[in-house]
């Protein structure tokens, strides 16, 4: 009886083909993970800007709606570093002044009540590039339009900037 020569294992050509296929698959996985990480970071920064601007804009719009008038001597309209001073009343019915302005040194929106600085209403990791107040008045009503450009701070590798707008009519003028 004669023995047959049986080959076991894989040849060098098969091994090279398998290694090339694995390298292509691994490269695709690495590229996919990189894209996923970059997209997640972009979405996180975009969401932070959106949240900070909505909170800031809501507070300003709420105070405009509850204001009884505008203190024009401390208000700057149609400039990128605008300020808005509102005459309003607190919960006890006492008259007070609320002022919003863009601090040039910190690029944050600051708020003052009766001349006392309460601090920023924007987070420190966000930068307000522009804060513009525009006044609209008719014979029966007056409104304020707020335009804000907010971006993330320069400490993150992603740099986004977004415009936000809001308009409110002063109480008792409609």
What is the reported pLDDT for 147? 96
**Given its phi and psi angles, is residue 70 left (phi above 0), alpha (psi -120 to 50 degrees) or beta?**
beta
Give the list of residues 6+ apart from residue 161 with CB closer than 8 angstroms, or none. 129, 149, 150, 151
Count how many residues are written for the chain.
Answer: 174
Query: Quick one: average pLDDT of 157-166?
Result: 83
Give the list of residues 6+ apart from residue 79 with CB closer than 8 angstroms, or none. 132
What is the reported pLDDT for 102? 93
What is the reported pLDDT for 28? 95
pTM of the entire structure?
Answer: 0.78
**Alpha helix stretches (DSSP H) within 12-131:** 12-66
Range among 43-47, 86-90, 145-149, 170-174 with highest mean pLDDT value: 145-149
- For the segment 89-133, what is each residue's pLDDT rounded down to a tens digit? 888 888 899 999 999 888 899 999 998 999 999 988 888 999 999
Q: CB of 118 within 8 A of CB of 97?
A: no
User: SS3 of 139, please?
Assistant: coil
Give the list of residues 6+ apart from residue 131 with CB closer than 8 angstroms, or none. 80, 81, 82, 100, 101, 102, 109, 146, 147, 148
Distance of alpha carbon 35 from alpha carbon 25, whole angstroms: 15
Half-sphere exposure of 68 (CA within 13 A, CB side): 9
Distance of alpha carbon 58 from alpha carbon 34, whole angstroms: 36
- For the segment 28-82, what is each residue's pLDDT rounded down to a tens digit? 999 999 999 988 888 888 888 899 999 999 999 999 998 888 988 889 999 999 9
What is the reported pLDDT for 29? 95
Query: Quick one: average pLDDT of 138-149?
Result: 91
Query: Quick one: average pLDDT of 140-157?
Result: 83
């Amino acid at each position: 009886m004669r023995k047959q020569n049986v080959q076991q294992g894989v040849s060098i050509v098969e091994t090279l083909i398998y290694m090339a296929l694995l390298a292509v698959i691994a490269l695709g996985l690495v590229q996919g993970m990189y894209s996923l990480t970059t997209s997640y970071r972009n979405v996180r920064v975009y969401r932070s800007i959106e949240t900070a601007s909505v909170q800031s804009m809501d507070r300003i719009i709420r105070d405009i709606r509850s204001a009884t008038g505008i203190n024009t001597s401390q208000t700057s309209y149609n400039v990128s570093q605008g300020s808005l001073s509102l005459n309003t009343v607190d919960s006890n019915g006492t008259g007070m002044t609320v002022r919003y302005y863009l601090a040039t040194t910190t690029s944050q929106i600051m708020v003052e009540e009766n001349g006392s600085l309460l601090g920023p209403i924007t987070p420190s990791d966000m930068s307000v590039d522009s804060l513009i107040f525009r006044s609209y008045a008719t014979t029966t009503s007056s409104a304020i339009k707020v335009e804000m450009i907010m971006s993330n701070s320069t400490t993150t590798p992603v740099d986004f900037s977004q415009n936000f707008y809001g308009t409110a009519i002063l109480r008792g003028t409609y």
